[in-house]
Each structure stands twice: as structure tokens, then as C-alpha cells.
Structure 1
């Protein structure tokens, strides 16, 4: 007959307590294993994320934590940064340092600053752009230390792409000068500023004489070379701050801010001489070119840039009628 209420062997009088202890140990070991697994997973994620996670003690001016991506992006030792927060300061591009420090301080008032973009110089001397978002712990109890946490992402490639897109949008592809739209956008701003401040302003139009003959005789590639050389001469000859651009097929324009009529005439004459010195060769043939220029200056009656453009255009066509290769003021 089977005993329905078996007794524990007398050799193990404390078996229930021992079993509970064993089960507790097994549970604890499982928790430790799960925690270790989570820590390993978290560590793997931090290594794989290409952004710098950081924590900064505001009062102590001490970096409390920085993720592995710091050494990849900055090329500097994380240990040195943890020992001295000035390592970060020393890595910021000098022109951006005041902005980077000011926006970091703003997080104390705003709670978060998410539009910080500044440059750093990595250990190899390369300039990199960062998008560095930072936040403050709003749940901290009174008296707790102020800790700012952030996420710094390398956006260098994005910035290079933006710069290239901006260049393509504003530059004439053939001559690398301002294109028509960009030239007139800038010229209109200069016009409004000159009107408000009462400063002089001059406008110049330049057209290559007999450009069709160049294309028909020597071919369009040589014609493109002429346009490129004209643009190079314009950029090299005009003053710093002057605007220069290609606004049509063989037509260029320049704007001279702060330039009185006499000075504008001297600049145009210098440009004329430099263009006349250019020589071109095609097979065994050599040739040179000339340009006709129309020049005008801002008057009290001018209400917009269009009036200057119209006078410069009329003056340029008058230069053509007078025999080309000259400057006419209008």
C-alpha cells in the first residue's frame, strides 16, 4: 500500500528551506545572466551607433560619460576627455567655439537645445561638422547636480552635399561665375543697402564682340574657352567685394558697391585692358578678342536695380554702334 503522505528522509530535515534557497540562487543567477546579456547588448549598440552619447556635470565641469563613437569621430582619447573636459573645448573649430559654448549654456534655461551645428578639428587635422543635441534632466531633485546629456552626430557629408548643391544652384557651370539668378539676387541686396545708406554704386554690362564669329571659325569648344578666360579675368581684376557673373550667352555683368563713377570707370578700363591682353590659339591659328561695356551709376531717381540695368544695357549697345571694343557710360 502506497503512503499518500510520504515523509522527507530524516537525513534532510531542512529540505524545504534548502529548496527555496536553491531556487532563489537559480533565480538570481538567471537575473544576473539576463542583466549581463542586456549590458552586452547595450554595449554592442553603443559601439555600432555612429554618434557620440555624452553626459556632462555642469557644476564640476566634468565629462561623466562618452560613448565609443567619440574616438572614431574626434580621433581623440576618451580617457583624456574624461580626465579633462577642455579636451572637447580644444577640439572645437576656433571660429565656432563661442557659439558652441553659448548654446551649451542655453540648455540650462531652455531645457533642450536641438539645433546646434558646429565644426571640430579631429586628431588628423580634418574639419568635421557636428549636429549636437543636448538636454537637461528636469526630474532632478533640488540640490542634485546638474547633468547635461547629449547626442553628437557627424554630419560632415551632409554639409558637403549642401554646399555642393548651393554651389550648383548659384554658379554658372561653364565659367564658375555667379549665374544670372544669383547675380541679380546679390545685386538687388547691394542696391537696397546703397539706397538706405546713401553710398555710391556702379553697374557694368560686358558683351564679347563678334562672339558668333569665334564659334563659327574655331568651334564651340574654343568659344567655351573664351567664356572661361573672360570669367577668370573678371574675377582676378575686379576689387574684393565686387560682384561678377555670367547673365547670358556671351554677356557678363558686374556690380561695384561703394564705388563712385570715376573709380568705376577706372575698374572698367582695367578690365578692358586685361581682356585685350588675352590670346587664344586653335591649331596653328592665334586670335584675340575684345568686349563692349556699358557702365552706369546709382542716382537719386533710381527706385530699383532695373533702372541701372536698363541704362547699362543701352550704353553697351551704344558701344557696339560706335565700333565695339570700348566703354560707354550711361
Structure 2
């Protein structure tokens, strides 16, 4: 009988084990390197998110659950990010009441368009500050059918930019001396009011007023005192007129008002009250008191008025008639 010797694998020698150990070591070193690189990337991303002033956010649209909000949220909103992550209504509660409907409705447009990039609204911070935000939002296009719709966005604090815009608008539309509308802005708004009144068949009154003998005021008391007269008359005009009325300085000592929705009888009462208010103003120069009066021309919208210019022309003619009749009065044309 032939005895077969079973095959026995020889134990690995040092030479055999060295390549395997080296490969394992290299694999471990590579894995560790990848972990370190990922960690570095996470730290870099975290540092970037901390330094970015814009608020980055992500919301599960179906559940309205806030999935993520960047660290800038607490700086911009002045509120706890933890509270927002726990309850999405924290965002709603921070919006200025006058902008709430717009902010919510504009957010819903993202479902129709996939992106909404023109949202601007105000928020109220925890300490009562009002800030303007430009908030852009997008739908996550990577979502597969049946997966949750994720809306991501970026809200940027544009308060300084908005304040600059408002200041530039104020400077462009306001008379520097009296803080009333300047001529250009007044007539822009007046034409809009005229078109609206014609379209709705609503009443509209145009009131033109001129300071009587204003040249004498400047010659007697000086231009600084004349400027004070102009400022005080503008204050009286803004005080007497109703909310929604337009008032502006359209010339040196000439002011105008447009009264939307004001019937002729009421417009005449407003003009007479304004005249009395201004007549009661007292000015003092070098121990001497003096008063001023105004002459006013009033024109009410009629079917013959095809443009604001015709209404203005009738008010202008009526004002000169008031001057001719002795000043300090209202004439309706």
C-alpha cells in the first residue's frame, strides 16, 4: 500500500508576511489620511459658514421642519437657532407684520417656479431692531420621485443698502428746505391720483396756494426768516391735510395739494381751515412780530378735465383771482 503524504501548507515566512503587512499599513495610513482630509474639509466648511453673514437654511417643505440653519441666523435675527430648528414658526414670528403676507406668499411661489430670487422683507430682531432681508430660495432638484421636497435658501441682511436707497429716494423726491415733496415728485404722484380718480369716477380736488407779499417778508426780515416762514407753512399744510392727501412745494413761495376722494364742499372746508391755520402763525424778528397770509385757488375734477394740466390751470387761474380780489382767501375755479 502506498501511503500518500498529506499536503501541508508551509507556514509563511517573514519574507511572505512583509508585503501583506506593508499593504495593510499603507491602507491604514491612506484611510487615516482620508479621515484627516475630511476632517479638515469639515473644519474649513464650518469656518466658512461661521464667517458668512448670509443665513443659509434648508426646510422640508411637506413637514415645514427646519433641517438646517447656519450660524449667521443668530447674528442677523438675534434669535436662538435651536428654537427655530425645534419650531419653524419662529421664522414667521420674526417677520414684520406689514410684510408677513408677502413673505409667506412669495415663499410658496418656489413650488411653481423652482426658485424665487426677488424676495425682500423686514424682520424684527429679539431686541426690537428692524432689518431688511433679501431672501433667495430654491427647490432641491436632486430629489427623486417620492422623496421629500427640500427648499434651500440664503437670506442676506441688506439693511444698510435699503437705508441708503430710502435716503437717496428721499433726497430725490423731497424739497430740502421744507421737507415736503418737490415739484417733480409732487406732479408724478398727482398724475397718478388724477388717473386713478378718472378711472374710478371719484372726486378729486387740486389746491394751489401762494404766500401773499412774500417778497416783502424777505426784503424786510431777510431770507433766513423767509425760509422759516416757508418751513412753518409746510408744517401747517401737512398738519391740516388728511391722510392720503398730497402736498408739495412747487415753486419759490408756491405750494400745492391734491385731495383724492374729496368732494367740492369738503375741499373748500380744508382750504379755508388751512388759510386760517397759516394766518394764526406768529413770526418774530428782532423783537417784532409779524404774520403772513396765503391766497388759494381750488379746482375740482370735472368731465372736461382730460389731463391734470387742465385741473392745475383752473386752480392757477383761481389763485390769481384770489390775489386780485384782495388776497388771504380761497377762490374756487
- Give the structure-2-normalised TM-score: 0.92
- Rounded to whole Å, the distance in 1 between the matches of 2:178 and 2:319 is 21
2:40 matched to which residue of 1?
37
How far does residue 286 in structure 1 lie from its aligned partner after superposition?
Answer: 1.2
How far does residue 263 in structure 1 lie from its aligned partner after superposition?
Answer: 2.0
Equivalent residues in 2 for 1:79-118 (5 A)? 79-118=82-121
More moved, 35-44 vs 245-254:
35-44
2:301 matched to which residue of 1?
298
Q: 1:284 aligns with which of 278, 287, 302?
A: 287
What CA deviation, in whole Å up to 9, does each residue of 1:159-206 have, x standing for no partner? Answer: 111111121121111101111111111111222222222222221111
Equivalent residues in 2 for 1:8-27 (5 A)? 13-27=16-30
How far does residue 310 in structure 1 lie from its aligned partner after superposition?
Answer: 1.2
- Rounded to whole Å, the distance in 1 between the matches of 2:90 and 2:331 is 61
More moved, 31-40 vs 94-103:
94-103
Q: For the structure 1 residues 20 and 215, does the alpha-carbon distance in structure 2 shift closer, same or farther, using more than 3 Å as the test?
A: same
2:144 matched to which residue of 1?
141
Q: 1:266 aligns with which of 265, 269, 282?
A: 269
1:225 matched to which residue of 2?
228
Q: For the structure 1 residues 128 and 258, does the alpha-carbon distance in structure 2 shift closer, same or farther, using more than 3 Å as the test?
A: same
1:172 partnered with 2:175: yes
1:158 partnered with 2:161: yes
What CA deviation, in whole Å up to 9, does each residue of 1:114-146 have, x standing for no partner? Answer: 111122111111121111111112221122221
How far does residue 30 in structure 1 lie from its aligned partner after superposition?
Answer: 1.6
- Rounded to whole Å, the distance in 1 between the matches of 2:162 and 2:99 is 15
Q: 2:202 aligns with which of 188, 194, 199?
A: 199
More moved, 109-118 vs 66-75:
109-118
The size of the alignment, in residue pairs, is: 322
- Rounded to whole Å, the distance in 2 between the matches of 1:230 and 1:95 is 32
3-state secondary structure, aligned to 1:76: coil
More moved, 201-210 vs 65-74:
201-210
1:257 matched to which residue of 2?
260
3-state secondary structure, aligned to 1:115: strand
Q: Cα RMSD over matched residues?
A: 1.6
Q: 1:75 aligns with which of 53, 58, 78?
A: 78
1:130 matched to which residue of 2?
133
- Rounded to whole Å, the distance in 1 between the matches of 2:195 and 2:105 is 33
How far does residue 97 in structure 1 lie from its aligned partner after superposition?
Answer: 2.2
- Give the structure-1-normalised TM-score: 0.93
Superposition misfits of 4+ residues, deviation over 6 angstroms: none
How far does residue 103 in structure 1 lie from its aligned partner after superposition?
Answer: 2.2
How far does residue 95 in structure 1 lie from its aligned partner after superposition?
Answer: 2.5
What CA deviation, in whole Å up to 9, does each residue of 1:283-304 have, x standing for no partner? Answer: 2111111111111222221111
